[in-house]
Every structure is written in C-alpha cells, then in structure tokens.
Structure 1
Amino acid sequence: MKTLISSDIKVTKDEKCESVDSTKYRGMIGTTHLRLCYPKGTGIETVVYADSDHAGDYVDRKSTNGICTFVGCCLTSWFSKKQTAFAISNIEAEYISTEKACQQALWMKQALIDYDVRLDDIPIMFDNKGAIDHSKNPVQHSRTKHIEICHQFLRDNVPKGHISIEKVPSVDNIADILTKPLKHKSFNYLRLGLGMMEHIP
C-alpha cells in the first residue's frame, strides 16, 4: 500500500488559489480494504505511544502531537492534533506531547476502574531522551522555565507511580504515523503496528 501523502511534499496554504472543499477528499484515501483487528484474549496491559513533529507546520511552525493508546495489542484511542503553543525546541515539543499522553493514560486508567480493572503504572513510550530526562528530573533548569505550569502535570504523575516513561526507538514509535508523512516502508510498518490489517471480503 502506498502512503497517503508523499513524504517529500511540503504542504502550505496558498491564499491566492481557489478554495477547495476538503470533504471531496475524505473518501478518496483508498484504504477501505483496511480494518483494525481486535483479537480475543489479548489481555489488559495498557501502553500509550506519544510523538511530535517539531515545528512541522510550514505556515505557523507549530508542532503536531500524535498519541496512540493500546489495551492489550488493540488500538483503543488515537489522535493527531496541532499543539496550541509554540515549542521552542524538539525536547519541548516531545514533552508537551508526552504530557497529553499522560492525560490519556490517566483517563484510560480511570475508565478501566469502572469495569473493576485496576492497572499499575501505564508506560508512555516515546523516542526523545531529553524529554524523558526532563520528565524524571525534578530540578527546574533556567532554559526550561518557559514551559507552562500545566506541563508539570507529567512530572507530578511519574513519582506517584501512575505512569512510567520509557524510551522506544524512533523507528518503532507507532505514534509517528500520526505526526508527519512517512516513506512507504515506515508507513506500512507502523500501520501494522496500529493493528490495521488488509481485509479482503
């Protein structure tokens, strides 16, 4: 399967061109043969993958978050969303993305309690060592003071054991598929990681 967009194209807004109805293209993606697979008996181990594309928007230079939540090996929630604040560095963009993943992990943990399922810490997987170190280090460095107070939420939940922060190699970070265009091989590898299998009726 080809990727949805070329990884070489830099998409920008052209104010001079005629406006295009985006709804025309939503059904033209060409992935109707793909299905999310939910095998039986996969367990309840919950893992959240987080990634960001630092300053990936070529118009406003904001970063994009990608978050994937798995219960067992089943993808249960995902989103891709532009960050509302500017990230000065790649570490900050990744840190913001991981904080959003922490919110998602805690929500999932609470939702499972409603079904009498109690989880220990939920691992959040991401690929930036600097952001991992920043989340575990309680010392505030002068060069990171510009990070808003809301991002201290992540730092607060690591020592309490609600979540754990773990490094995943960049090539295996499933959330990468939600942040930027990828080459064909990487796209298909991560698509399979999401549990999207080809379904031929």
Structure 2
Amino acid sequence: MDNAKAMDTPMSTTCYLDKDEQGKSIDVKKYRGMIGSLLYLTASRPDIMFSVCMCARYQANPKESHLSAVKRIMKYLIGTLSVGLWYPKGSTCDLIGYSDSDFAGCKLDRKSTSGTCHLLGNSLVSWYSKKQVSVALSTAEAEYVAAGSCCAQILWMKQQLMDYGLMLDHIPIKCDNTSAINLTKNPVQQLRTKHIEIRHHFIRDHVEKGDVFTAIEPTNGGNVIYGDNNTGKVIGVGKVYELMNE
C-alpha cells in the first residue's frame, strides 16, 4: 500500500458488496485487523464511517472482493491525509441533528442503514451508521427509524449539556423525507405505517413535549456531512469535492 494510488472516494457508487460465495477466500485474521484499524479511525473520520461499517459486515468469511473494498478505503485515506474536523473558537452551543437512510441498501436481507450526525454549534461532535434491525417497507419508514436513532442521541447529548448549565429545548432534527416528518407529528395510524414497531414511535412523544422538532432538509442542502449523508450512503466524487469546499 506504500505506493498505492490515492482514491477520490472511500467507496465506488457502483460497489454492491455481498457474501460473494464464489469468490476466493482470504486471511480472516488479516481482514479483521484491517477493519479494526479502520473502525478506530472512524472516531475522527466520519467520511469513511459508512464504507467501513459496510465492509465490517463480512468479517466472518471475507473474500477478495471485500478486501478490495477495504483497500480502496485506505487509498482514499492516503489522498486525504490533510482532511480533518475543524472546531472553531467561539461557535454557539446550539444542538442540531441530521438523519438519513439508504432504503433497502443491503443486498443480502434488504435492510436499510441509518446514518445520523449531530452538531454542537457549527462543529460536528457525533455521528452514527448502523444497519436497521428490521426490513423497512417504504422509504418513509426507513427515514422515520433513522430519525428516531438521531433523536435518541440528541436527547443523550442534551442531558450531558445540562451538567454544564446549558438547558436546550426544541432541538431541530433535519430529515429529507416529508412523510417521515409527518409521522413524527401525526399519531394517527395509517395503512402504510401501522405495522411500524412501537419502540420507533418514541420520537413522537418528544416532539409533542417540545424536546425536539423535525424539519425538512433537502439532500443537497449543503451540509458537509449530511448532504447525501456520508454515514448513510455512498456519494460520488463530484459531491465529495462540492461539500468539502463549503
């Protein structure tokens, strides 16, 4: 990897990993070690979060195709050594959350992946990417579940800030799906949403209490982390450069 060519993105937009049962097996220990190192880096590099978590799903029986995807992430890191998070002095302490999902993104079980990020003022302080535990039957459901995950993290951060004397209410959670936003405000069970598990509806309670509120945010909204949410889906090189320059 010392002389490897740098890549512009951590994962190709045409890359769809699966079990690749016909592929050639590789050293499991080596693969898991590479994944472990990359997971450590995700603590400060949210731009590789989704790609690393995607590759981490195949640690039980990795193939050459999975190793190629991992090496691409490393090549991307080689080309972005100067990229990092910036925490400017004097920014506000307002909380804001963003959520997104890739509906039925996993080709094995058709489950969606939730991606969220949370900003304190203008500074990114928390991010999250995880495959949802159940199959979503619609984009609205997948986005609604992702918004619930975002809400849970926002509420935890709110409690932590109370120790510093910061009392925050009406914290915005931005989502790019109008139907999902309507679900957080309307307790009426609709035909297409009545099957959603009860535990996902806790966000409604906190919207009603005024702890948080949901608002629309277009996917190309211009947020460097959210605008096709690096924690929730793969984006192209053009979009990466556009967001980095903002």
Q: Give your verdict on TM over 0.5.
A: yes
* Aligned-residue offset at 1:37: 0.4
Relative contact order, higher structure (CA 8 A, sep 6+):
1
Matches within 5 A, 1:111-190: 111-172=160-221, 174-175=225-226, 176-190=229-243
Q: Which moved more, 1:77-86 or 1:173-182?
A: 173-182
Q: Which residue of 1 aligns with 2:14?
A: 8
Q: Which residue of 2 aligns with 1:19?
A: 26
1:70 to 101, 119, 131: 119
Rounded to whole Å, the distance in 1 between the matches of 2:117 and 2:174 is 10
* Aligned-residue offset at 1:143: 2.4
Q: Which moved more, 1:90-99 or 1:165-174?
A: 165-174
C-alpha contact (below 8 Å) 2:105/2:111 kept by paired residues: yes
Structure 1 length-normalised TM: 0.89
Unaligned runs of 5+ in 2: 1-6, 39-72
Q: Which residue of 2 aligns with 1:60?
A: 109
Whichever structure has more strand as a proportion of its residues is 1
Residue 110 of structure 2 is aligned to residue 103 of structure 1: no
Instruction: Describe the superposition over 1:96-151 as per-residue Cα deviations: whole angstroms up to 9, x where unpaired.
Output: 00011110111111110011111121100010001011111121123211100101
Unaligned runs of 5+ in 1: 194-201
- Count of residues in Structure 1 that have an aligned counterpart in Structure 2: 193
Structure 2 length-normalised TM: 0.73
Identity of aligned residues (%): 43
Whichever structure has more helix as a proportion of its residues is 2
| Runs of 4+ residues over 6 Å off in structure 1 | none
Q: Which amino acid aligns with 1:3?
A: T
Rounded to whole Å, the distance in 1 between the matches of 2:230 and 2:175 is 13
Rounded to whole Å, the distance in 2 between the matches of 1:13 and 1:5 is 17
C-alpha contact (below 8 Å) 2:176/2:218 kept by paired residues: yes
Instruction: Describe the superposition over 1:38-71 as per-residue Cα deviations: whole angstroms up to 9, x where unpaired.
Output: 0000010110000000000111111001110000
Rounded to whole Å, the distance in 1 between the matches of 2:117 and 2:128 is 7
Q: Which residue of 1 aligns with 2:84?
A: 35
Rounded to whole Å, the distance in 2 between the matches of 1:135 and 1:69 is 19
